[in-house]
A = this chain, B = another copy of it.
Amino acid sequence: MMAPAADGTPVGLIAGGGSLPFTVADQLAAQGRKPVVFALRGFCDPKQVSRFTHHWVSIGQFGAAKRLLRAEGCRDLVFIGSLVRPALSELRLDLGTLRVMPSVIRAYRGGDDHLLSRVGRIFEAHGFRVLGIRDVAPELLMPEGAMTRHRPDARAEADIVRGRAVLAALSPFDVGQAVVVIDGHVVAVEGIEGTDAMLARVAQLRRDRVVRADVGRGVLVKAAKRGQDLRFDLPTVGPRTVREAEAAGLAGLAIVAGNALVAEAQEMVEAADKAGLFVVGLSA
């Protein structure tokens, strides 16, 4: 990955939903680099953004964003926060966007995973530098080893091994960042529904008694896809993931270290300790 700029210039945060953009902004400020938040309309939290120098922008307003970034002296950008993919008709396309339109449309048609990375490449083609969390706030990434009081037992370790093997097999297909393995059985594979929806499915399969294993068995195993550009699409875990895993009756979460963001780490670990779940970072 790219080394972080140590030149003290402001960093533009292209900020979607959730608390992570502000956590990153705080980290940058603590490092002495001014964050300038480019708050994505409809995604970014208006309350929290008011703490920072910010501009509201719409997805599709590339021209406006480019001008504002230059006016703020931001050469470095970070894309951060959740983004539910809007309909093309909901995008407000400005003149600058219309000029780069073929690239945007191509980006759009490429599917969720590639939209942001292609938009990022457009920014890069215009002289900006796109950094990842690894560059600006590596302390937010999943660490190696257990974060929790509880640790995987031998049965959970075996489920983790199996889950990693499934994810490795699926990796070439741009699918399956996560699986649930219970007592050696691959119970659920994540498609495009997302990890939370997959865990909700496992909870339902338990209620329907399709899954009959004891509660406290099974592991959510989560990794990044091969070739995934982690500057744009970093798997994220947090307290909600722990709550969903608890509802699914699992023993814990195993996440490839360095390849996932931990949102609200302290709250997540407290929730896991309380529920008796482990959260463990696997060496990449």
Q: From residue 186 to 224 of chain A, which have CB atoms closer than 8 A to chain B?
A: 186-193, 201, 205, 209-212
A-B pairs with beta carbons under 8 Å apart, 18 shown: A85-B212, A111-B185, A162-B173, A166-B170, A166-B173, A169-B169, A169-B170, A170-B189, A173-B186, A175-B186, A180-B191, A186-B191, A186-B192, A189-B189, A192-B210, A192-B211, A193-B201, A201-B201
Q: Is A71 an interface residue (CB 8 A)?
A: no
Q: Is A73 an interface residue (CB 8 A)?
A: no
Chain copies in the assembly? Answer: 2
In the complex, how many angstroms separate the beta carbon of A55 from the nearest chain B beta carbon? 28
Please indicate the chain B residues that have their CB under 8 angstroms from the CB of A193 in the complex: 188, 201, 205, 210
Binding site for B on A (CB under 8 A): 85, 87, 111, 162, 165-166, 169-170, 172-176, 180, 184-193, 201, 205, 209-212
- Point out the residue from B180, B186, B192 that lies within 8 Å of A185, measured CB to CB: B192
* Besides A87-B209, A188-B192, A201-B201, 20 new A-B residue pairs in contact (Cβ under 8 A), listed by A number: A85-B210, A85-B212, A111-B184, A162-B173, A165-B173, A166-B175, A169-B169, A169-B172, A169-B173, A170-B170, A170-B189, A174-B186, A175-B186, A176-B186, A180-B191, A186-B192, A187-B191, A188-B191, A192-B210, A192-B211
Complex formed: what's the CA distance from A205 to B84 in Å?
13
- Point out the residue from B165, B191, B210 that lies within 8 Å of A189, measured CB to CB: B191
Please indicate the chain B residues that have their CB under 8 angstroms from the CB of A212 in the complex: 85, 87
Complex formed: what's the CA distance from A211 to B185 in Å?
28
Please indicate the chain B residues that have their CB under 8 angstroms from the CB of A162 in the complex: 173
Please indicate the chain B residues that have their CB under 8 angstroms from the CB of A169 in the complex: 169-170, 172-173
In the complex, how many angstroms separate the beta carbon of A35 from the nearest chain B beta carbon? 31
